[in-house]
Chain A
Amino acid sequence: MPELRTEEMVINMGPQHPSTHGVLRVELVLDGEIVVDAIPHIGYLHRCFEKHSESMNDYQQVIPYVDRMDYVAAISNELGYAIAMERMLDIQVPERVEYIRVIFAELQRIASHLLALGTYGLDIGAFTPFLHCFRERERILDIFESTCGARLLYNYIWVGGLSHDVPDNFKNKVRDFIKYFPPKIKGYNDLLSYNKIFIDRTADVGVLPADVAVNCGASGPVLRGSGVEWDLRRHDPYSIYDRFDFDIVVGKGEMGTVGDCWDRYIVRVREMEQSLRIIEQAVEQMPDEGDVKEAIPKRIRPDAGEVYARTETPRGDLGYYIISDGSMSPYRVKARSPCFVHTGLIPTISRGAMVADVVAIIGSVDIVLGEVDR
């Protein structure tokens, strides 16, 4: 009997695929059900952020654009840009502003991780956790809304300060949330993290070894999921993060191998608890008096020079490389986005996986295409 003829097959996953978290197209080369190669094609959402920034006639005007990069964690993007510009202009921000920024950045981290958790469950086939996560996320967005009026794209952190002061009952609202949230985390663990089906789908899938992760430039929960203890809040402190007590969560391979999808997932769940600890300390230490607009410069005209600043966003290490030529508009703004780097990692961890696991892998690196394409 003659041998059956076999050949590799190329299929396109995306750009309109619910599990690619936006408009990502992955060209999959398959040998049966095994992935031989996965080639991501990006750029469908390219909005020329860097070119736009160069045509702004004020450095403050860039902030609404950075909001739209990682649109589910806008505060973190603003914070990074503001810190870069403050370093360039040598501005000392008032205490109160620093505390409000930290509280919002950590609330944003929780909101963003909740979205990551919920949609990850959805990718794997669990619908209920998504609804639970969104219920809690709404509470955080309500705090944002009562402060600056927006629920998603805030334009709240400005170079040198904030656009609004917080409302009178802000501290109580945050304290309520701190009380309300911890039992919910237990709920996610019961519902999703330690669910047999979920573990079977994610443990030992898409393993990213630590040395490869560092060499490929992974950061945030993806790097920590591989067992590397690296968090910019601790290792390259910015703002006032050196004042708070928190643990760096790393993947330990509890359900399978260190650096698998489950590790990356559980790092996010446990990071929410740590963020809550930071918020708790910040709310207690935050001064009640102070003008949040005090240090905002009337006119921003930095001397010629350049700055590189990086911050730990929910998705990893977000860097801004800003060059000034001494005029009112930036000469060059480059954003080093963690999602861009992580999308580049997808081929490395997908080779040899089953085609159904590609969905689990893409979900576990938690990319937002708005930031990949900028």
Chain B
Amino acid sequence: MKAPEEIYAILKERFGEEKIEFKEDGKVVPWIIVTPDAIRDVTKFLRDDDDLDFDYLMCLSGVHYQKENTLGVTYHINSTRKKHSLTLKCIVPEDNPHVPSIESVWKTANWHEREAYDMVGIMFDGHPDLRRILCPDDWDGYPLRKDYKVQEYYRGMKVPY
């Protein structure tokens, strides 16, 4: 079992300080911010390293940070054998929301990334099947963005809300 601080030290050693940042506010579990270009290598390393052994992706969530004009992806990962867990974040600008897909690392990410794309509008590069999942294929906009406006008509039907 390893604390997030120890895992951060290992990652910093391996990937360099400019790609990885440690965040802590004293109240909740600390998290690690990873730059989008490194996320696939970092997650693959976390999965394959024998001491870290993160074999389980618990949750992948898309978030819209309206004040900062950014979108974020939060990864909650866990090791079923080593019993430790970790929170990773990837922050991208709202006007160019491209994050590499980690579907090749954990298959759970497949549908979760589709959901984050559908709801928040994050583009996952390298995803094998990036389609909308909960909304219809031809829906406009991303519902979980804070500035989302429901379209007035959908295929000639009034959208009542």
Interface residues, chain A, with chain B CB atoms under 8 Å away: 42-43, 46, 48, 50-51, 54, 88, 212, 214-217, 228, 230, 235-236, 303, 305-308, 310, 317, 319, 321, 323, 332, 334, 336, 340-341, 343-344, 348, 373-374
A217 touches B80 (CB 8 A): no
A217 touches B134 (CB 8 A): no
| B70 interface contact, C-beta 8 A | no
Tell me, rounded to whole Å, the shortest Cβ–Cβ distance linking B139 to chain A. 10
A341 touches B143 (CB 8 A): no
A-contacting 9-mer, from B10-18, B35-43, B93-101, B103-111:
B103-111
Cβ 8 A contact of B59, one of A212, A230, A334: A334
> What number of residue pairs across chains A and B have CB atoms under 8 A from each other?
81
B74 touches A341 (CB 8 A): no
B57 touches A217 (CB 8 A): yes
A217 touches B27 (CB 8 A): no
A228–B56 alpha-carbon span in the complex (Å): 13
Interface size class of B (residues with CB under 8 A): 20 to 34
Interface residues, chain B, with chain A CB atoms under 8 Å away: 25, 27-29, 55-59, 61, 63-64, 74, 76, 80, 83, 85, 87, 106-108, 110-111, 115, 119, 132-136, 143-144
Cβ 8 A contact of B106, one of A46, A215, A348: A215
Tell me, rounded to whole Å, the shortest Cβ–Cβ distance linking B22 to chain A. 16
Known A217-B106, A305-B27; contact A334-B58, beta-carbon cutoff 8 A: no
Known A43-B136, A321-B61; contact A308-B87, beta-carbon cutoff 8 A: yes
Known A51-B144, A305-B27, A307-B28; contact A214-B58, beta-carbon cutoff 8 A: no
A63–B58 alpha-carbon span in the complex (Å): 22
Known A43-B136, A217-B57, A319-B76; contact A306-B108, beta-carbon cutoff 8 A: no
A46–B133 alpha-carbon span in the complex (Å): 10
Give the one of B29, B58, B59 with max A CB within 10 A: B59
Known A230-B80, A334-B61; contact A215-B107, beta-carbon cutoff 8 A: yes
Known A43-B133, A308-B59; contact A340-B28, beta-carbon cutoff 8 A: no
B80 touches A228 (CB 8 A): yes
Cβ 8 A contact of B111, one of A306, A307, A308, A340: A340
Main secondary structure of the interface of A (DSSP, over half): mixed
Chain A hits for B74, CB < 8 A: 321
Chain B hits for A48, CB < 8 A: 143
Cβ 8 A contact of B107, one of A46, A217, A319: A217
Chain A hits for B106, CB < 8 A: 215, 217
A43–B137 alpha-carbon span in the complex (Å): 11
A163–B160 alpha-carbon span in the complex (Å): 34
Nearest-CB residue, chain B, relative to A374: B134
A323 touches B63 (CB 8 A): yes
A306–B24 alpha-carbon span in the complex (Å): 11
Tell me, rounded to whole Å, the shortest Cβ–Cβ distance linking B56 to chain A. 6
B80 touches A42 (CB 8 A): no
A51 touches B107 (CB 8 A): no
B111 touches A344 (CB 8 A): yes
B134 touches A336 (CB 8 A): no
A51 touches B143 (CB 8 A): yes
A196–B148 alpha-carbon span in the complex (Å): 55
A88–B87 alpha-carbon span in the complex (Å): 16
Chain B hits for A373, CB < 8 A: 134
Cβ 8 A contact of A46, one of B85, B111, B135, B144: B135
A321 touches B55 (CB 8 A): no
Chain B hits for A343, CB < 8 A: 111
